[in-house]
Structure 1
Amino acid sequence: MAKLLYITANPKGLSKSKGLQIGEAFLEAFRVEQPDVEIKKIDLFEADIPKMDAELVSARGKIGGYGYKLEELEEGERAKYLAMHDVADEFVDYDYYVFVSPVWNLSSPPVLKQYLDNLFVSGKTFNYTPNGAKGALSGKKAVHIQTRGGLYTNTPMAELECGDRYLKIALSFLGIDVLDTVVAEGFDYFPKQAEEIVEQAKMKARETAAQMAKAVLTV
């Protein structure tokens, strides 16, 4: 049975979030292709995700750079280090990933970066090789559903958008096959056309869901 992890970074909730509504259309279409898929939802605004604070940075450095053993860490360091691994272990256990987030100030909500920081675990999600770092999650599939108030596609603003670009870079670094982003944009420019923009994005989301569900997973 395939497993899909649905990760959202929008505090508005389904009734008010255009992105989450598009995301639900994606999930519905995916289930048509894979009725038995196991789906878990993570709301990053509700989840307890470790922050990359002084204790966690210290723990990572001690173990990764100085050869400390887990039991040699201070209590707070050890707890946060284990919590980071719990997040990464859960992520690795899935085959498909769907990220849903808006553009906030040219990037994504901070909680998404906080979550991604927990996924960069040497020996688990990537490995150091003589030729540089190499992702360990090859064969898995991911897609990003992103809503934008402004207009970025084929405009000078495209170079300023950092949320989708960073997510794609991060996931690709881990070896994941990243599909084209489902974008709904221009809500601030065309507020009266919001419903039409959402419906068009839902169509794209359904098409992308079918594409991802039919794609062959490789190891």
Structure 2
Amino acid sequence: MTTLFVNACMRGEESRTLTLCREYLAGITDDVVEVDLAALDLKPFDASKVAYRTEKQKTQAWDDPIFDLSHQFAEADHIVVGAPYWDLSFPSALKVYLEYVSVCDIAFHYTEDARCEGICKAKTLTYIASCGGFVEGANFGYEYLCGIAKMFGIPETRFVAAEGLDIVGIDVDEQMNKAREQIAALR
């Protein structure tokens, strides 16, 4: 069994999200493979990259490196995404990564009756975040990942967050411990 950890914690080891992710992953007995999006430094798709990938799809050149991240994602048994809450969502590096992962005939396909059907192995996608304020119903990053999970055929999504961490006077340790309790409940 393999757990894929998609690390979108752009502040590296200073990230409170990464702290929570590491604690969550410490309790996992699977092999954990980490994709560090800051280190990957993926470039967004432009017209030439889209044309290149489309040509490789048409010729079914599935061993081309442009599909490596999609294969890795599709073959994982569990997905953990760690991303801080940025601008009502998550860092743009995660969106770019999802562009690389979202490949027809690897992560999903279309049935004969034109329905999108997910073909990823993962049974769960766990999204871990930290937030400077309180999300209060505006968690568009998690909602987006729920849509991606559905499209890719991942039946269960879960969310953990430490919120309010940048509010003056808030007990940060208490907020982090609330998230730790959420993590413990997932095990």
State the TM-score, normalizing by the size of structure 2.
Answer: 0.88
For these two proteins, the number of residue pairs brought into alignment is 185
Match of 1:102 in 2: 84
Quote the Cα distance in structure 2 between the aligned partners of 1:44 and 1:191.
32
Structure 1 segments of 4 or more deviating over 3 A? Answer: 60-64
CA contact (8 A) 1:7 1:98 kept: yes
Q: 2:26 aligns with which of 25, 28, 40?
A: 28
Alignment of 1:57-72 (within 5 A): 57-62=50-55, 67=58, 69=59
Quote the Cα distance in structure 1 between the aligned partners of 2:36 and 2:92.
13
Deviation at 1:161, TM superposition (A): 3.0
Match of 1:137 in 2: 120
Q: 1:87 aligns with which of 48, 62, 69?
A: 69
Deviation at 1:168, TM superposition (A): 1.4
Deviation at 1:84, TM superposition (A): 2.5
- Unpaired runs of 5+ residues, structure 2, are none
Quote the Cα distance in structure 1 between the aligned partners of 2:41 and 2:72.
13
Match of 1:194 in 2: 172
Change (3 A) 1:162 1:149: same
Match of 1:19 in 2: 17
Highest RCO, 1 vs 2 (Cα 8 Å, sep ≥ 6): 1
Match of 1:167 in 2: 145
State the TM-score, normalizing by the size of structure 1.
Answer: 0.76
Letter in 1 for 2:37: L
What's the RMSD between the two structures over aligned residues? 2.2
CA contact (8 A) 2:10 2:91 kept: no
Change (3 A) 1:191 1:114: farther
Letter in 2 for 1:101: A
Q: Give aligned-pair identity as a percent.
A: 25
Task: Output one character per residue of 1:123-176: Cα deviation in whole Å (capped at 9) or x when no partner.
Answer: 1111111141111125522100011112123xxxx1x43211111111221001
SS at match of 2:70: helix
